[in-house]
Amino acid sequence: MLAIRSILFVTAFYLWSLFWVLLIAPLALGPRLWMVRSWRTWSLGIFFLLKTICGIAVELRGQQYIPRGRGLIAPKHQCMLDVFAQFAWLPDSCFVTKKELMWIPFLGWYAHKGRMIVVDRSAQAAALRKMVADAQDRFRHERQLVIFPEGTRGEPGVPGDYKPGIAALYRELEVEVTPMATNAGVHWPAHGFLRHPGTIVYEYLPPIPPGLKRAEFMRILQERIETASMALLPL
């Protein structure tokens, strides 16, 4: 039964996504904000499919910590939903994404329209400088900048390898960082198609103030994210 429900969800997810990307195609000719805010409906549709087909609810905690204007958000990353979910509650999100994703039809085109920050990981130091410059530009429009500190998806309960990108943004932007914990990988694994019933929790945590030394900032960031994410795992 779990496999059947999971297959039904994956099928419905791709059909819903195809329908939606075709429906919003005219927005590519309009203002950027129209495109970004249209993704909220797509995200809420995914939540509906998860609930009705797989018995998976999505719960948001720590809403008082969500930045409404410019803000830097550092979420735990365990599955694809970690990206989609942010569209449901952030008013003008901007993601740091790898260059390879921009080659995907529709996804890449719409990400370009939404002015996401594209990183070429092979460029190393040059990529960091460009990312900071792009982030400064996006902040002029009061956007919420989302960067996954681990850079890639990890397994629930396994501490991630935190990359230097978040520290560079924290230092150069001189802004507080809002960590976010999750248990999403328990119900939507990083690999495979099975979706396990239960509740996916996304929990925004108290922000880390600007001005800390790099090592101290990274220590606090990882400690908060990993501790809170571990607390969300089943006993």
The residue written with tokens 């390898």 in the block is 161
Q: What pLDDT, on a 0 to 100 scale, did the predictor assign at position 128? A: 81
pTM for the predicted model, two decimal places: 0.92
Q: What is the pLDDT along the chain (235 residues), one digit of tens a residue?
A: 899 999 999 999 999 999 999 999 999 999 999 999 999 999 999 999 999 999 999 999 999 999 989 999 999 999 999 999 999 999 999 998 888 878 888 888 898 898 998 887 776 778 788 888 999 999 999 999 999 999 889 999 998 899 888 999 999 999 999 999 999 999 999 888 899 999 999 999 999 999 999 999 999 999 999 999 999 998 7
CB 46 within 8 A of CB 16: yes
Domain boundaries, the chain: 2-231
Spatial separation of the C-alpha atoms in residues 80 and 95, rounded to whole Å: 13
- Give residue 133's identity as a one-letter amino acid code: A
Q: What pLDDT, on a 0 to 100 scale, did the predictor assign at position 48? A: 98
Spatial separation of the C-alpha atoms in residues 47 and 96, rounded to whole Å: 23
Q: What pLDDT, on a 0 to 100 scale, did the predictor assign at position 125? A: 77
What is the fold, at CATH topology level, of the domain defined by 2-231?
Glycerol-3-phosphate (1)-acyltransferase (3.40.1130)
Which of 177, 164, 163, 161 is closest to 212 using CA atoms? 177
Q: What pLDDT, on a 0 to 100 scale, did the predictor assign at position 123? A: 64
Segment (H or E) for 223: helix 214-231
